[in-house]
Structure formats: C-alpha cells, structure tokens
Amino acid sequence: MNEELLAQARAWLRQDPDHETRDELAGVITRAAAGDEGAIADLEDRFRTRLAFGTAGLRGELGAGSNRMNRVLVAQAAAGFAAYLREKSDGRTPTVVVGYDGRRNSRVFATDSAELFAGAGLRAILLPRLLPTPVLAFAVRHFGADAGVMVTASHNPPNDNGYKVYLGGADHGSQIVAPADAEIAAHIQRTADAGSVATLPRSTDYETAGEEVVEAYIAATVAVAPAPAGTTGMRWVYTAMHGVGWETLSRIVKDAGYPQPFVVDEQLTPDATFRTVSFPNPEEPGAMDLAFARARRVKADFVLANDPDADRLAVAVPDASTADGWRRLTGNEVGLLLGARAARAAAGTPGASLACSLVSSPGLGAVAAHHGLDFHETLTGFKWISRAPGIVFGFEEALGYLVNPETVRDKDGVSAAVAMLGLAAEARDRGATLVDLLDELGETYGHFASGQVSVRVEDLAVIGNVMLALRTLPPTHIAGRSIASAEDLLQSAPGQPSGDVLRYRLVDGSRVIVRPSGTEPKLKVYIDARAESAESAREAVAELEAGVRSLLDERS
C-alpha cells in the first residue's frame, strides 16, 4: 500500500465537513490499509489527480476525494475564485451571485460558496431558491456583479454535480474563457496547497436575493415573443426532465399569453434521482418517451422539453413514419428555425450577426448571408458563441440556443421555448405547422441535413488514440467521397478557432468534423450535407454516417 496516498486520504478526511463523504472515505481507507486491492484502486482513483478546473468550471461524480465533487473541493474552488476576484478588483469590493439547481448537494455547495465569498470580504448574493441556470446568467448582469457561480451538472448522470463560473463587467455575464480559467485554477491550487479548508474564513453575512430578480427575468423573457392576438387552440406538451424549468416557464407562458401545456407529471418537479430516465438528457434515446406518450394521448401539435437545469431545449413534432409517431428535431433544425426568426428581425441592422459553433450547421451562414447579416463560426461552447461581435442569435447543435443576448449571454432553454411558441403560434395563424416551417427554410436558404456519430468509451485513452491515428494516417475519402481538404485545428492560423478538432471538407460539399466531447467520455463526429432537396441531403448524411463508422473502426 502506498503510504503517501494513505496520508493524503487521511489529511482529506480530517478537513471534510460532510459526514456522508467522511464516512464513505473512512471505510475506503480502512479497507485499503488492510490490503484490499479494490479499495486501493478506489483510493487511487479518488486521489491520483484533482478534478480539473477549466472553461466549463468543475464537473464530476459526487464523492470523497480530490477527483470528485464534494464540499472540500467546492470550498477550495470558492476560496480560490474569491482570491482571483479580489486580485482583479482594483481595491473595490467584488460582487458575486450564486445559484443552484435541484441536484444532490447543489444547495449545500451554493451555501458553502456564499459563506466563503462573504468570509473573503466579497459581496455575495445567493439566489432565493433553486432556479434555472439562465436565471443565474441573467442575475450577473441584473446586479452588475463581477461574477456568478451556478451549481449544476446540467444533463449529466444523476450522481454528478458541477460548478459553472461566469464573469460580469466587460464579459457581460458570459462563461469564463482563457486565460481566466487558468488564473482561477492557479488560485484554487494555492488554496488547496495552503492547508485545511476548515481554516478558511466563513461568514453568514451574505445576501439572499428577493423574488424581484426572478420577476425581472420573467419580464425580459416574456418580451422575447409575446403571443400574437387571439392565440388559442394550440396544443403542446412540456417536460422539465425532473429539473427546475417548469415553475419559471409556466409563469412566462401565462404572462406571454400562450395556452398552458399538457405536462408530463412524472417529470415536472425537481428529482435528483431522475427516476424515469436512464440519462437525464433529452438528446438520449428514451429520455422523451413519456412526453411522446402524453403527446399521443392529447393529440398535441408539438412537444417542448428542457434539460434538468433548463439551459437547453428539445423540440419534437408528429411523424407518422416513426414507431412512436414523434420525431425530435435536431439541434441544427431548431437552430435554423430560431436563427431565421432572429435574422428576419435584425435585417438591416448594421453590425448585427448570427453565430454558431464550428460543429453546428453551416446553414446558419446561409441564413445570415440571405439577410445581409454578419456570421461568426466559433469553437464549441457558449463561452465562445456569446462573445461573437454584434450577436443577435447564437446556437450549438447540442440543443443550446441564445435568443436574448441583451439579457442572457448564455444558452437559455426557457427563452428559446418562448421563441418556439411564438413561431408555432405565427405558423398556426396561417394554417401551417413547425414541419411546414422547416420545409420553408429549405426553399429559402437551401436544403441542409446533419447527423452525428457518437462513441462512448470507458477509457479516455481510446479517444486520444483514435485522434492520433487520424492525424498519423489521414483518410483520403469517406463513404466513397474524396476529401477535398483536411484541417487540424490544433494547428490553426492566428485569429482562427483552435482546438482538438479535425475538419474534413468533401468534394461534394459535405463536411465531417471529429472531436472529443468536452463534458462526457465520448468521441463525437458531426456530419453536414447540402443538396438540391431535403431527401437528397438526408441520404448523403446517412451514407456518410456509415462511412464514418467504418473509418473509426479502422483507426480504433
């Protein structure tokens, strides 16, 4: 047994204020000290590294140890972030807003953070109750705060939690980017190296925000798309996916003048166990089955679903060709619908732009060009999309949409839902559906289709090996189509997006992009095609998906 590892675990145990993780770790230490190989491996996994703080903040499995989400790690993160904010404050007292969702320990982590921020001399404001992530992003700007922290793991598995960081001021309430992430991480490490979190100053002299901030968010979101006069008869289904979206959205729907939805009762209120889904992400197979069943019973026109922290939106429409009679629209389809809506409203505005991540549909560029708007393609993540100059709308194919940049500089599944209700109501007024709107997109901007191949792995080294193999032995064709150009974004030109991304442009105009997921143990491949008809575009994507799977098998 590694005595240094045991000493590290015991030191962690002594500073842990949480009886549950303390008892958990004590048992592992006892078994490991007795030579239990499984316990030794468990201890090594918990302490061989620290859960990395990066541009997504912190996110990981709940449990004891430096490689887990727990009260010790959160305390170190809060104290380190406070030190960073004080360093950047030029003698002012920084203000930081803290929010939390309905996951296990979210409120505890948020309260710990507020106490530590206050103890470090900051003005700390805790949101009044569990709320959607977009409300926290809104609150950073509403209070003129220097920063915000949201305790959430979004759509991750039930036993995960996370710590998402925003910056105010010149960053306008966007998520952190480099070099701030590395600077904050360095302060966190110094805090961890300094000793026990039990010695960190705490104070209960933090503020709890009133309902006024929620009311202000609701009013701003209602203004995104008030219902057209006479909006009646629209039948739709909503699920909160066991998250925090419903209370806020239902008030907005009422104030905006839309008919209330039929709801999925089993998934309407926060439930940290996510008991009706194997994975609380509306993108995952089966996650929306209950919503589809409800929609069939009530003969709904469409379905809307938020993920657990309500920063993403899924949309589904009737489709007789599927086994259950419903089809979830892709993030690209929804993004183009909302992008075209924003472009029509912004046409003629100098400097106005649309933006999307480089793995999202190139169709948004065609929309921008059609309406004379600027277009920006960014790295993945709303920390980049939200910073596009002149942005009036941004999206990412992973169901994220920024429709109200003047109030929320992040993806917002609640305001996106209101915007979709507006589109559906306007279509209904002229006897059309959301499917008809998609057809009209193709006729106006060109027919685009997209697909994705996603490979989940147990060992992250597999992803690195596949990326290395693709770089070492580059493919010359995919699905019988020659590759016209290949770009490695690790070697991007100055001023261009840079990251662990491989982009292939094919001779027929199709595009294939390969990258590791930033939040899950997955290798993701994004496929886009444009053709003379929607059917031809879909056929091209299907052929490319099969070709990509063969390519990955060869390189694995």
Q: For residues 307 and 151, give the distance between their C-alpha atoms in angstroms, rounded to a whole number.
A: 15
Q: Which of 556, 518, 511 is nearest to 537 (CA)?
A: 511
Q: For residues 300 and 453, give the distance between their C-alpha atoms in angstroms, rounded to a whole number.
A: 30
Per the CB < 8 A criterion, the answer to whether 217 and 128 are in contact is no
Q: For residues 32 and 37, give the distance between their C-alpha atoms in angstroms, rounded to a whole number.
A: 7
Residues 6 or more apart from 19 whose CB is under 8 A from it? none
Residue whose pair of structure tokens reads 């045991």 in the numeric block:
6
C-alpha angle 248/254/259, rounded to 5°? Answer: 120
Architecture of the CATH domain 211-445: 3-Layer(aba) Sandwich (3.40)
Q: For residues 14 and 29, give the distance between their C-alpha atoms in angstroms, rounded to a whole number.
A: 12
Q: Three-state SS for 57?
A: strand
pLDDT (tens digit per residue) in 144-179: 999 999 999 999 999 999 999 999 999 999 999 989
Q: For residues 553 and 495, give the distance between their C-alpha atoms in angstroms, rounded to a whole number.
A: 34
Give yes or no for residue 484 having a pLDDT over 80.
Answer: yes
Instruction: Report the pLDDT value the prediction gives residue 218, as an integer from 0 to 100.
Output: 98
Where is 81: in which H helix or E strand? helix 71-87
* HSE-CB for 116 with a 13 A CA cutoff: 27
Q: Which of 178, 183, 181, 170 is nearest to 497 (CA)?
A: 178
Q: For residues 115 and 4, give the distance between their C-alpha atoms in angstroms, rounded to a whole number.
A: 32
Topology agreement, domain 55-209 and domain 211-445: yes
Q: For residues 85 and 71, give the distance between their C-alpha atoms in angstroms, rounded to a whole number.
A: 21
Given 66, 106, 113, 154, the catalytic residue? 154
Q: For residues 239 and 262, give the distance between their C-alpha atoms in angstroms, rounded to a whole number.
A: 9
Q: Which of 353, 363, 388, 502 is nearest to 445 (CA)?
A: 363
Give yes or no for residue 197 having a pLDDT over 90.
Answer: yes
Give yes or no for residue 380 having a pLDDT over 90.
Answer: no
**CA dist 237 → 259, 292, 295, 304, 400 (Å):** 11, 8, 6, 6, 20
Give yes or no for residue 420 having a pLDDT over 70.
Answer: yes
Instruction: Report the pLDDT value the prediction gives residue 2, as an integer from 0 to 100.
Output: 85
What burial letters (b/e) apply to 12-38, b meaning 16+ CB within 10 Å?
bbebbebeebbebbeebbebbbeeeee
Instruction: Report the pLDDT value the prediction gives residue 496, as an integer from 0 to 100.
Output: 65
Q: What is the DSSP letter of 412?
A: -
Residues written for the chain: 556
Tokens of 473: 């032995």
Q: For residues 465 and 223, give the distance between their C-alpha atoms in angstroms, rounded to a whole number.
A: 49
Give yes or no for residue 479 having a pLDDT over 90.
Answer: yes
Per the CB < 8 A criterion, the answer to whether 502 and 453 are in contact is no
pLDDT (tens digit per residue) in 38-84: 999 999 999 999 998 887 799 999 999 999 999 999 999 999 999 99
517: buried, middle or exposed (CB in 10 Å: 19+, 13-18, 0-12)?
Answer: middle
pLDDT (tens digit per residue) in 114-129: 999 999 999 999 999 9
Q: Where are the alpha helices (DSSP H) in 104-179?
A: 106-119, 133-142
- Find out whether the peptide bond into 282 is cis, omega within 30 degrees of 0: no
Q: Where are the alpha helices (DSSP H) in 281-433?
A: 289-298, 331-346, 363-370, 382-385, 413-429
Percentage of the chain exceeding pLDDT 70: 98
Instruction: Report the pLDDT value the prediction gives residue 537, as an integer from 0 to 100.
Output: 94
Domain ranges across the chain: 1-48, 55-209, 211-445, 447-555
Per the CB < 8 A criterion, the answer to whether 306 and 240 are in contact is yes
Architecture of the CATH domain 447-555: 2-Layer Sandwich (3.30)
Q: State in words which class domain 55-209 has.
A: alpha beta
Give yes or no for residue 497 having a pLDDT over 80.
Answer: no
Instruction: Report the pLDDT value the prediction gives residue 493, as an integer from 0 to 100.
Output: 67
Instruction: Report the pLDDT value the prediction gives residue 178, as an integer from 0 to 100.
Output: 87
Instruction: Report the pLDDT value the prediction gives residue 80, as an integer from 0 to 100.
Output: 98
If pLDDT is split at 50, 70 and 90, which confidence band does 327 have? very high
Residues 6 or more apart from 179 whose CB is under 8 A from it? none
Average pLDDT, the chain: 95
426: buried, middle or exposed (CB in 10 Å: 19+, 13-18, 0-12)?
Answer: middle
**Average pLDDT over every residue of 349-361:** 96
Give yes or no for residue 518 having a pLDDT over 80.
Answer: no
**Average pLDDT over every residue of 175-187:** 94
Give yes or no for residue 96 having a pLDDT over 80.
Answer: yes
Instruction: Report the pLDDT value the prediction gives residue 229, as an integer from 0 to 100.
Output: 84
If pLDDT is split at 50, 70 and 90, which confidence band does 495 have? low
User: Which amino acid is residue 155, in one-letter code?
Assistant: H
* HSE-CB for 195 with a 13 A CA cutoff: 4
Tokens of 231: 């909006």
**CA dist 383 → 55, 177, 411, 488 (Å):** 8, 6, 9, 22
Q: For residues 213 and 82, give the distance between their C-alpha atoms in angstroms, rounded to a whole number.
A: 23
Q: For residues 438 and 534, give the distance between their C-alpha atoms in angstroms, rounded to a whole number.
A: 10
Per the CB < 8 A criterion, the answer to whether 354 and 345 are in contact is no
The residue ranges of DSSP E strands in 33-185, in sequence order, are: 58-61, 95-100, 123-126, 147-151, 160-167, 174-175
Give yes or no for residue 444 having a pLDDT over 70.
Answer: yes
pTM passes above 0.75 = yes
Instruction: Report the pLDDT value the prediction gives residue 1, as an integer from 0 to 100.
Output: 59
144: left (phi over 0), alpha (psi -120 to 50) or beta: left
Pairing of strands 160-167, 58-61: antiparallel
- The verdict on whether 154 is a catalytic residue reads yes
Percentage of the chain exceeding pLDDT 90: 90
Beta-bridge partners for 99 = 150
Per the CB < 8 A criterion, the answer to whether 323 and 302 are in contact is no
